[in-house]
Amino acid sequence: MGSRERQITLTIARRLAGALPAARFGLAPGRVRRAAWARALRRSFEDLGPAFVKLGQLISVRPDEFSDELVAEMESLQDSVPPLPAAAIREVIQAEFGADADALWDGFDDEPVASASIAQVHRARLREAYRPVWGDVLPAGADVAVKVVRPGAEATVRGDLAIARRMAEGLVRRRLVRRVDPVALLDEFAESLDRELDLRREGRFSDRFRFDFRDDARVTSPRVVWSRTTARVLTMEFVEGWRLSEIDAARAAGVDCFALAVHGATAFMRQVFVYGRYHADLHPANLFVTPEGRIAYLDFGIVGYLTPAERVNITQVMAALVYRDAERALRYSDALGVHVPADRVEAVRSGLGRLLDGTTRADGTRDFAHFGLGFLRLLGANGVAVPSGYGLLIKSLATVEGVARALYPEIDIVDTARPFTTRVLGAAMGDPARLRERLPAALRAALRELTA
């Protein structure tokens, strides 16, 4: 066992041992005991650095595989670390561009505005005007955010990931885990990490997002300065505004937050059902309300994609929620890769029926989170594997509902989705290939009616 592997093992063991009194040495009721272990594991992940912080974030979007207590703890995991000295960040910039930061930008601020596990963000000003891929020209002197991958972050994260994978393989060999496949989870994490370590991917998605919402004056994302962007440095428009956690300040400034709640939920539905690509890491730090009353999407490090067929199938799952149709939810979830074994179908159908009966709130609106997250937990409890994309989308929809309801408690996310789901189903019904596929069955049904 190498020194880093020993450090990881000892850190986790020390935190878990420290949780023994809160867990009453294993004698506390289940929920109290699980909460104590979850809190200890979250703290150990914060102690261990970037790879484990990112792994915790992945756990937080998998309620199908992990307990409610662990998911809740990992949702609160802070991706915030002490900043590196500016000299280290300037070295990365020098290596990427062959020039000092002061030659590339005016007024490069050595004090970072944000410092996370993978990257650090500094404020600067453009030396000359820049025409972005989409949107108005950024004038000389415009404030920009310069996001820089921390030196050594990639090697550290990949090294820790390799160690974590060996440890996970050991747990599987010893049959110490049952419900969760830790090796598959780490493979999923590795794919996500590849995307996040190349900042050009984030920049391209931001440009695509701006184009998608070019006709919407209330939704925006930062303009990217490609002449000052590489895999390890991303320069983008600096967005002023309030985080969602500061929404009272936005209200005091005259922003109509109720209208923004509805519009923001609608914008997310447009991403999912119209474009098939969506921001999958929505939390207060990634959504700003600007002084002009716009919603600004930031940090496209984690995104989701849906094919046209998947959009049709997720629309049918939403329809199952409206009509309380457990059979429809199971049929179209199966088409999305959620395959329930024959011997578990009845148990899952029964549990799903109970979930659907409990999705209407006292005010008559639907509770998507109750249905969606409950469905994921139900599948996990019955040993049904959930594709990562399906779990990510359900969690994202539930998050959007929670954000919107914090601003406008009476919002119904299912009603918000209705115009988009209707459009998706209408297009699917008119698809020539689908018509050719269904025509024989329709003709046989018509003949039976005529000859009855």
Three-state DSSP state, 88 = helix
Q: How many whole angstroms separate alpha carbon 331 and alpha carbon 317?
A: 9
Q: Does the annotation count 212 as an active-site position?
A: no
Q: How many whole angstroms separate alpha carbon 116 and alpha carbon 153?
A: 11
Helices assigned H by DSSP within 113-198: 153-173, 182-197
Q: How many whole angstroms separate alpha carbon 278 and alpha carbon 64?
A: 21
Tokens read off for 85: 């000295």
Residue type, 245: S
Q: Which residues of 132-145 are buried (b: 16+ CB within 10 A; e: fewer)?
A: bebbeebeeebebb
Can you say how many angstroms the Cα of residue 125 is from the centroid of all Cα atoms in its chain? 30
Tokens read off for 161: 């990931």
Q: How many whole angstroms separate alpha carbon 255 and alpha carbon 136?
A: 24
Tokens read off for 352: 């799903």
Helices assigned H by DSSP within 19-147: 30-48, 50-60, 68-75, 86-97, 101-104
Please, what is the Cα angle at 246 between 248 and 275, to 5 degrees?
110
Pairing of strands 219-220, 242-243: unpaired
- Catalytic: which of 64, 160, 207, 281? 281
Print the SS3 string covering 3-19: HHHHHHHHHHHHHHHHC
26: left (phi over 0), alpha (psi -120 to 50) or beta: left
Q: How many whole angstroms separate alpha carbon 146 and alpha carbon 97?
A: 13
Q: Which run of H or E residues covers position 279?
A: strand 277-279
Q: Which run of H or E residues covers position 115?
A: strand 114-115
Active site residues: 281
